[in-house]
């Protein structure tokens, strides 16, 4: 190769011309010994490592049909009958209903105390059943004792726990299912999400854990 300035013959790989000292354009500096070469290739990103601990999976559930809910209702009725008897028997003795029956009432006026007593009994049973269903279905159990025994839970449409207010609305909506000659209850057997009429009104589901 030749120097571009003075035209002198320069040995291959020389950094400067030996005649005039002109830097050679094709010269390069060799990297020092032990230097790590710099790669110009684009970086390659590896996917993040998977955690070693087990990842929780979604719980498998299914909608509870009419017959499962019917069996749960029977269990709840037994529980409520037992609890209602404990609450109402002392009340019956305290208001003298036994004395009223021994007098053999013959006129309509004689039945007034009995009617008043029956109203009190009805109110006690109503409050007992309301609190039983609303408190348990809005609790961490999300189920009454009957539903709990069969692995059933009451949820909202997103599968979350219902509030006490929603559980209360669901309980009183059951009377609408009852006054439709029971058709509202039977709807749990053929609707898409196994919802009874009171479930549709309250926006709830009854699911079964698998």
Residue 102 belongs to some domain of the structure: yes
What does pTM read for this prediction?
0.62
Average pLDDT, stretch 96-106? Answer: 57
Residue 178 lies in a domain: yes
Residues 118-135 pLDDT 10s: 777 788 888 889 999 999
- Cβ neighbours around 152 below 10 Å, total: 21
Residue 45: per-residue pLDDT: 61
Q: How many helices (H) and strands (E) does the chain have?
A: 7, 3
Predicted confidence (pLDDT) per residue in 143-202, tens digit? 999 999 999 999 999 889 999 999 999 999 999 998 988 898 999 888 888 999 999 999
pLDDT tens per residue across span 47-66:
666 656 655 555 667 888 88
Q: What is the residue range of 87's domain?
A: 61-209
Number of domains in the chain: 1
Beginning with the edge strand found earlier in the chain, give each strand of the sheet holding 152-156 in spatial order.
61-63, 204-209, 152-156
Q: Which residue has the higher pLDDT, 7 or 142?
A: 142
23 vs 141 pLDDT, higher one: 141
Strand, helix or coil at 138? coil
The answer to whether position 25 is within a domain reads: no
Residue 182 lies in a domain: yes
3-state SS, 147-196, equals: HHHCCEEEEECCCCECCHHHHHHHHHHHHHHHHCCCHHHHHHHCCCCCCC
User: Helices 112-137 and 66-94: crossing angle, nearest 10°?
Assistant: 140
Tokens of 62: 């299914």
Inside any domain, residue 96:
yes
- Assigned domain for 104 exists: yes
pLDDT higher at 63 or 37: 63
Does any domain span residue 51? no
170, 198 contact by CB (below 8 A): yes
């Amino acid at each position: 190769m030749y120097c571009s300035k003075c035209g002198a013959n320069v040995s291959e790989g020389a950094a400067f011309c030996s005649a005039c000292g002109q830097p050679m354009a094709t010269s390069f500096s060799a990297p020092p010994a032990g230097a790590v070469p710099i790669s110009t290739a684009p970086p390659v990103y590896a996917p993040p490592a998977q955690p070693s601990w087990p990842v929780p999976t979604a719980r498998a559930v299914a909608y509870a049909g009419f017959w499962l809910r019917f069996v749960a209702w029977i269990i709840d009725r037994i529980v409520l009958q037992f609890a209602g008897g404990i609450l109402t028997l002392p009340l019956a003795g305290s208001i003298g209903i036994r004395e009223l029956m021994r007098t053999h009432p013959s006129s309509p006026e004689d039945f007034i105390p009995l009617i008043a007593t029956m109203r009190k009994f009805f109110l006690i049973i109503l409050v007992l059943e309301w609190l039983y269903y609303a408190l348990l279905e809005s609790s961490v159990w999300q189920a009454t004792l009957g539903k709990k025994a069969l692995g059933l839970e009451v949820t909202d449409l997103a599968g979350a726990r219902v509030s006490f207010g929603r559980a209360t609305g669901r309980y009183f909506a059951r009377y609408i299912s009852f006054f439709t000659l029971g058709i509202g209850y039977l709807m749990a057997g053929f609707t898409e999400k196994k919802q009874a009429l009171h479930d549709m009104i309250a926006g709830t589901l009854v699911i079964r854990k698998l």
